[in-house]
Amino acid sequence: MAKRANGDGSITYLKSKGLYQGRVYVTTTSGVPKRVAVYGKTREEVREKMTALQAQDNQGIPTPDTNVKMADYLAYWLAAVVKVNRRPKTYQGYESVVRVHLIPGLGSRKLRTLRAADVRTWLARVATTCQCCANGWDKARKEPTCCAAGECCNTRLSRRMVQSIHAVLRNAIENAVREELILRNVAKLVQVPTPDYGTGKGLTVPQARLLLKAASADRLHALYVLALAMGMRRGELLGLHWSAIDLERGTLIVSSNLQRVDGALQLGPTKTASSLRTLPLPPLVVTALREHQERQAHERATAGDRWKETGLVFTSRVGTAIEPDNLRRSWYPLRERLGLTLRFHDLRHTCVTLLLDLGVPPHIVRQIAGHSDIGVTMKVYAHASLDEQRKALGSLSERLA
C-alpha cells in the first residue's frame, strides 16, 4: 500500500463502538489547524465526510470546533447579542422564550450536532403537549405533570406561539452561523404551521361616532379620538409628548412608545422604523387636543405641588405616565355602556379598515398606521365589510345580467 500523503487523514475501526473513525487536519473557527474526528458505519461514509471537510478547508471555510451545549450558547446569545442590539421589550420576549421553552427542550443538546430532525420532533411535542407540562411548571413545583396524572389541562400553545418559539431558535442559530460556530442553520430546514391571523371586529362608522359621543365626558376623550381617527397604538398614545404636536400647523410626530419592561415603565422608540412617522391632524383631532390641553391645565392647577411634569399628553391626575394595562379602567366601563366586547387595539383596526373602505390607497393607509409592510395592512388588519362585498357583487351581477 502506498504511503498516505501528509494531510490525507486516517481511518480506523473502533471495535468498542462498532463505528469507523476518520481523523483529518483542517482549519477550525478558532483560526488554528486541528485534527477533527468524524464517524460513520462504513469506511466509505467516513471517507465522504473527510473529503467534504477537506473541500471546505480548501475553500477557506473553517470547521466548527465548539462542543458548547445549547443552554450555554443561548445564554451567551442573549447577553452578548440580543441585549446589546435589540430593544428592551424584544430582549424580554426572547429571554422568556429561551428560559421557558428552548433551554428545557434543547438545552442539553450540543450546538454542533443539533439536527433538523431534533428541532422538528421537539417542536411537534411542544405544539401537542399541554402548556403546564411543556413549560415545566410541574418541575418548579416538584409535582407530577398533569398529563402524567391523567388530568391534562388542554391549554395547548397557539400556532402563533409555536411560530414565535421557532423564530427565536432560528435567530439564535443564525447568529451561530454568522460567527462561524456551525455551517448551517438547521432551524431553517423545519417548517411550522402558519398561524391564522384574526382580522379583529372593528366598528362601523355609526358605532365609532357613538363611542366618541359616549367618551366625550371622559378625561381621556382625546385619546379615543386619536386611536380612532389616527390609528395610533396604545404605547404610542401613552408615550406621546406635547413637544411632538404642533396644533397651529396641524402636525403630529409619532416617535416614542411607552411600555412596561422588567417591572418598570420605559419610554423607548417606536415599534419599528416604519412606525416613526409624521401625520397631519384633521380638525376633529385638533379640537379634541385643544380641549384636552385645557383639561390638563386644570388638573395641573388642582394637583399643585403633587403634579409631576413629564411633558406627556396623556397622564394620570398628578402628571405621571399612565400604566398601559391601567388604560382598561377607562376603556372597560366605556365599552360596557355601549355593549361592546372590543379590545382597545381594535380601535386601531377600525381606523385602518374604515380608511380602506373609503377607497384610500393601501400605501397611504400603511404610512398612516406605521405598518412595516403593506401585507400587514391588507392581510392582518383590513377586511371588506359585508356592505362593501354586497356592493361589489351587486355591480358584477348587473354587468352579467
What are the tens digits of pLDDT across the range 212-224?
999 998 999 999 9
Residues 96 and 138 in one domain: yes
Residues 288 and 246 in one domain: yes
Q: What is the mean pLDDT of residues 87-103?
A: 91
Tell me if 19 sits within 8 A of 40, measured CB to CB.
Answer: yes
Tell me if 199 sits within 8 A of 380, measured CB to CB.
Answer: yes
Residue 138 is predicted with a pLDDT of 45
Q: Roughly how many angstroms between the first and final C-alpha of the chain, as a whole number?
A: 89
Residue 356 is predicted with a pLDDT of 82
On whether residue 291 sits in a domain, the answer given is yes
Domain boundary among 145, 161, 189: 189
Residues 346 and 218 in one domain: yes
- Of 374, 400, 352, 25, which Cα lies nearest the Cα of 208? 352
Q: How far is CA 369 from CA 230, 282, 378, in A?
A: 7, 15, 12
- Which residues fall within 8 angstroms of residue 105, CB to CB, at 6 or more apart? 122, 125, 126
On whether residue 2 sits in a domain, the answer given is no
The enclosing domain of 376 has a CATH number of: 1.10.443.10
Structural domain for 46, as ranges: 10-58
Percent of the chain at pLDDT above 90? 36
Residues 78 and 41 in one domain: no
Residues 156 and 25 in one domain: no
On whether residue 304 sits in a domain, the answer given is yes
pTM above 0.75, yes or no: no
**Residue 145: pLDDT above 90?**
no
Please give the tally of structural domains in the chain: 3
Residue 222 is predicted with a pLDDT of 95
Residues 242 and 380 in one domain: yes
Which of residues 376 and 241 earns the better pLDDT score? 241
Q: Which of 102-111, 125-134, 251-260, 354-363 is modeled with the greatest confidence?
A: 102-111
Residues 20 and 136 in one domain: no
Residue 35 is predicted with a pLDDT of 86
Domain boundary among 189, 217, 241: 189
Residues 234 and 378 in one domain: yes
On whether residue 221 sits in a domain, the answer given is yes
Q: For all residues of the chain together, what is the average pLDDT?
A: 83
Residues 247 and 163 in one domain: no
Residues 127 and 19 in one domain: no
Residue 141 is predicted with a pLDDT of 47
Residues 164 and 226 in one domain: no
